Structure 1
């Protein structure tokens, strides 16, 4: 790697203000053919003032030309700001980007084949900056296998004009890995809040710290020039060392942004101290969603949550999860995260995406992807634009539209569980909900197709790894199996043939008739999800005391709502006791136990069968006199001892009274 000092820097004396220069003076240091790295996430941390100065220099002088641009997260507003300033033919010749949806000016150059262009995973690029900084040959990872980034499926190339290889398949000890080679970087365009005259930079007003340190170190160690845009300058020696995010030894030029609109905290918010963790603001309550396709999908997705989960919410449809979680009073049971480095708090949306209110921590983006890639996410909720029979998902490229993968590949490949969310067909919403049943519009563009155009998620690899994967729509739910996707649920009011199978380009697996989605999803009232999540998992409700030869069953707060619940209880008891080959004693806690009246006969029949096969004697107890009468009468009809005690002490005391 070339580590020679930038030739223009060696001839350029600093002025009386140390490293402080104008934007125009700093941009003059960029030469034709330089590789430029930029930091930012949407508009957070993006050096807009420097990008404007670079665009103006090129439009005025035609220089610099043929730059290579490298960036991890999407940096733009989908219109004219951010990296759209660099979207001029001749200014850039090569672009390596993690997300393209927010930069239509660059996207147009790539789609039309006027530049060489790659879409690589956001987390990989953030790690590649760090590996370039450390002088490593590149980044070695499994991230991207089986997707369009895999060299067997395109190597991340966006067009036919792209000839250079940026990804190599590298088997190690029988395992497949992808190698992303390093490249020298000559220019860093970064942003902070305060700099001293030595170039030390803090980020106290920034919503994220991103990969700024990694980029600065990579460029410095490549012999390049590091330029940082800030709001203000302080005297040397006055910044607290723990607040410094980019040390002055890495920084060549400090540019004070004298146009406030070029240094907004996000592209939507000038400044919110709760985004930067300077204050704890009263927690905003997400807007309650109207009962629509989006809310139905978010509600069904929320049923996949478990308490104390670490969660990632993708942009778009998955953002509805936070609204549903707030309405159901379960936000505090979860830790929401975002890929640029936010842990905890309430993630923001729109052009504020990436920021969060009242976070627990804000770490740098490479460290967040260390956590994600290592399996730290319990569950991820992500969007889906196309799905095929193998369970592959496309969110990155559709015909001439290039969205890019962003952090999707890292997250979907490495989260322990993934829930993809989206409408069943692409159409303007016209569904109605009548008495809890859907009335659906006719037609719509198919999203469940024979083969996705661009493979952003590999169903085959996920199935081989045994990853739980669900595909949630407003009218049905699928799950991933090793044989493909299987239809497991259907919404009330939906016709299987007319509303689902006729609008798919393939027939999903259906080993059994799909069950009906929970009716609470389609009602306006809250679903009672908090109570459901706080219920003790069934597997943890059974404890066998071998020394006492007693099975303790805790049905406190359990609600039996379906025949499947009854079957699960029976199967759990059988799995626990059948291997013993003898009968045991049992004590059952029925405190706050609830069961639908229509299921009571089947439930007591199951209880009678278990008692006949596995128990010497069973005692039961509950503090509810109503439940003692209701369950007692039902047990008596099945010739099961009907007496139910009022306390656990009484139940245990009388358990072996016959032997006494």
Structure 2
């Protein structure tokens, strides 16, 4: 079978199979038609059951699509995912211990597919050491139902490594743009190259089935060889969906697809507020010429504030999904970029990231503890997972974590340089994080510079944990900072006041780096 309906493709998936779904969050590169057909089949017939679902990146838009198409009791036995944030239904099954739930770094799963294609034993990496992925902590488990050890600690040449063994792969569900009659597939209308080729090679070489979804069908011989991303010899069935969108939010966009460049790329200014203050301060940690990764959410603002200053070309932005240069897209289009200089596959990008290719990463924090550990992946019943966070944070030469000082801290500012903080809000600086997504101990051991930026205070990681180095102008150290922390940090002898220009609606007289010393440095 080559070309078929989505229902016919879904019928090829048998109970107990390990199914690898390629794509990214927000519906980017998501094979929606095949996933919907699989869900429809299960709801109508009760089959297939007991699946193991593997997804590298986040999948879906948070509205029942993506990996949530599998979020039915009995349909899935185990999920190994890099990011769970878009799949609310699957998180509920995990929290209720109705599935075996695991989370591994996005780059680890990406590399695992490539290794599986070559029949290698598994992935050996420093990524994940001293985090919840480490077998000495949680081993990547997200719930009590996840009892098997899917990672191991090994020592080679006197160093500790995490070894992730390969496992059988039965079905690949991938997406491209155009397929010819011989099954060759191009990706000219996709927002990223993802792990599409690696996924098809891994499953095919393990005797499995490769199911592909495309928008267009053309005659044999119509495609040029250097455009083909997945050779037809790897593909078993192809579903044509002419309604296929670039993402959930965007139907078509030649600039996000990388087929055209904008002569002048403009970035909308951020609305003035707490998030803009944080983005401004974080941007000061970047140096001209830096290769930069901006994480999902609040870090997006760094690109916007650099653009307002006319400095967006002073650094090179990159995205873990494979783009280098240009400006990363935000929101549910995250993972794509406009005016990228180059686009590589995600496994290639993670090779570069894991080896230190990023100079400075700007990433969000949800919790920071007394040892400098950061949690972004687990909060009670919410288990959004880490995505590429561990690869990026451990691989980058320097990390800048950004977030509001307390949860729900996105309050109004007067725009005149001052800041009046509310007296409530759940603590984000806690004694111990719920999950170690980033290890402060490992960062200090390897000498990695780490900065934590909020609108009220800035901390730098030292051997004894986060050290308070800056506070916002006009704040009282005890009342506005320390009283809202779950631990008492060491306070720098030369405590500085954050530049008041950061808090003006118009960022006037902005210093080039850091902040000015304050006369209140002895206030403890």
The interval holding the TM-score normalised by the smaller chain is over 0.9
Q: Report the equivalent of 2:10.
A: 27
Q: Report the equivalent of 1:327.
A: 308
Go from structure 1 to structure 2 and tell me whether the alpha carbon gap of 1:302 and 1:434 turns closer, same or farther (over 3 Å shift).
Answer: closer
Go from structure 1 to structure 2 and tell me whether the alpha carbon gap of 1:267 and 1:563 turns closer, same or farther (over 3 Å shift).
Answer: closer
Pairwise mapping of residues 387-466 of structure 1 onto structure 2 (< 5 A)? 387-433=368-414, 435-466=416-447
- C-alpha displacement of 1:284: 4.3
- C-alpha displacement of 1:278: 1.2
Rounded Cα–Cα distance in structure 2 between residues aligned with 1:495 and 1:562: 17
Q: Report the equivalent of 2:522.
A: none
Checking the alignment, whether the CA contact within 8 Å between 2:273 and 2:411 is kept in structure 1 is no
Checking the alignment, whether the CA contact within 8 Å between 2:91 and 2:381 is kept in structure 1 is no
Q: Report the equivalent of 1:349.
A: 330
Go from structure 1 to structure 2 and tell me whether the alpha carbon gap of 1:521 and 1:428 turns closer, same or farther (over 3 Å shift).
Answer: closer
Q: Report the equivalent of 1:81.
A: 65
Look up the SS of the partner of 1:113 in the other structure. Answer: coil
Checking the alignment, whether the CA contact within 8 Å between 2:13 and 2:171 is kept in structure 1 is yes
Checking the alignment, whether the CA contact within 8 Å between 1:283 and 1:358 is kept in structure 2 is no
Look up the SS of the partner of 2:155 in the other structure. Answer: strand
- C-alpha displacement of 1:92: 0.9
Q: Deviations over 1:417-443 (max 9, x none)?
A: 000000111125334346412111111
Look up the SS of the partner of 2:429 in the other structure. Answer: coil
TM-score by length of 1: 0.77
TM-score by length of 2: 0.96
Q: Report the equivalent of 2:37.
A: 53
- 1:38 to 2:38 alignment: no
Pairwise mapping of residues 277-426 of structure 1 onto structure 2 (< 5 A)? 277-426=258-407
- C-alpha displacement of 1:403: 1.0
Look up the SS of the partner of 1:117 in the other structure. Answer: strand
Structure 2 residue corresponding to 1:490, chosen from 454, 457, 471:
471
Q: Report the equivalent of 1:255.
A: 239
Q: Report the equivalent of 1:145.
A: 129
Checking the alignment, whether the CA contact within 8 Å between 1:195 and 1:234 is kept in structure 2 is yes
- 1:96 to 2:80 alignment: yes
Q: Report the equivalent of 1:195.
A: 179
Rounded Cα–Cα distance in structure 2 between residues aligned with 1:333 and 1:183: 43
Rounded Cα–Cα distance in structure 1 between residues aligned with 2:4 and 2:328: 36
Go from structure 1 to structure 2 and tell me whether the alpha carbon gap of 1:283 and 1:111 turns closer, same or farther (over 3 Å shift).
Answer: farther
Give ranges in structure 1 of 5+ residues lacking alignment. 1-13, 534-559, 565-660
Structure 1 residue corresponding to 2:138, chosen from 130, 136, 154:
154
Rounded Cα–Cα distance in structure 2 between residues aligned with 1:442 and 1:333: 39
Look up the SS of the partner of 1:437 in the other structure. Answer: coil
- C-alpha displacement of 1:513: 4.3
Rounded Cα–Cα distance in structure 2 between residues aligned with 1:218 and 1:527: 54
Rounded Cα–Cα distance in structure 2 between residues aligned with 1:268 and 1:528: 38
- C-alpha displacement of 1:478: 0.2
Q: Report the equivalent of 2:52.
A: 68
Rounded Cα–Cα distance in structure 1 between residues aligned with 2:304 and 2:202: 40
Checking the alignment, whether the CA contact within 8 Å between 1:328 and 1:527 is kept in structure 2 is no
- 1:108 to 2:89 alignment: no
Go from structure 1 to structure 2 and tell me whether the alpha carbon gap of 1:134 and 1:561 turns closer, same or farther (over 3 Å shift).
Answer: closer
- 1:173 to 2:157 alignment: yes
- C-alpha displacement of 1:525: 2.2
Look up the SS of the partner of 1:110 in the other structure. Answer: helix
Give the structure with the larger helix fraction.
Answer: 1
- C-alpha displacement of 1:280: 1.1
Checking the alignment, whether the CA contact within 8 Å between 1:118 and 1:157 is kept in structure 2 is yes
Q: Report the equivalent of 1:120.
A: 104
Q: Report the equivalent of 2:485.
A: 504
Look up the SS of the partner of 1:401 in the other structure. Answer: coil
Rounded Cα–Cα distance in structure 1 between residues aligned with 2:290 and 2:392: 15
Rounded Cα–Cα distance in structure 2 between residues aligned with 1:561 and 1:323: 21
Go from structure 1 to structure 2 and tell me whether the alpha carbon gap of 1:430 and 1:237 turns closer, same or farther (over 3 Å shift).
Answer: closer
Q: Report the equivalent of 1:600.
A: none
- C-alpha displacement of 1:218: 0.4
Q: How much is the aligned-residue C-alpha RMSD, in angstroms?
A: 1.6
Look up the SS of the partner of 1:271 in the other structure. Answer: coil
Rounded Cα–Cα distance in structure 1 between residues aligned with 2:430 and 2:422: 19
- 1:223 to 2:229 alignment: no
Q: Deviations over 1:254-280 (max 9, x none)?
A: 11114x1xx110110000011111111
Checking the alignment, whether the CA contact within 8 Å between 2:274 and 2:413 is kept in structure 1 is no
Q: Deviations over 1:590-614 (max 9, x none)?
A: xxxxxxxxxxxxxxxxxxxxxxxxx
Structure 1 residue corresponding to 2:502, chosen from 485, 499, 521:
521
Q: Max radius of gyration: which structure?
A: 1
Rounded Cα–Cα distance in structure 2 between residues aligned with 1:66 and 1:434: 56
**For structure 1, which segment, 376-385 or 515-524, has the greater mean C-alpha deviation from structure 2 after superposition?**
515-524
Q: Report the equivalent of 2:521.
A: none
Matched length: 517
**For structure 1, which segment, 33-42 or 76-85, has the greater mean C-alpha deviation from structure 2 after superposition?**
76-85
Q: Deviations over 1:224-269 (max 9, x none)?
A: 00011011111112210000000111111111114x1xx1101100
- C-alpha displacement of 1:286: 2.4
- C-alpha displacement of 1:562: 6.0
Rounded Cα–Cα distance in structure 1 between residues aligned with 2:415 and 2:234: 63
- Say which structure, 1 or 2, has more relative contact order (CA 8 Å, 6+ apart): 2
Checking the alignment, whether the CA contact within 8 Å between 2:496 and 2:517 is kept in structure 1 is no
Rounded Cα–Cα distance in structure 2 between residues aligned with 1:434 and 1:93: 52
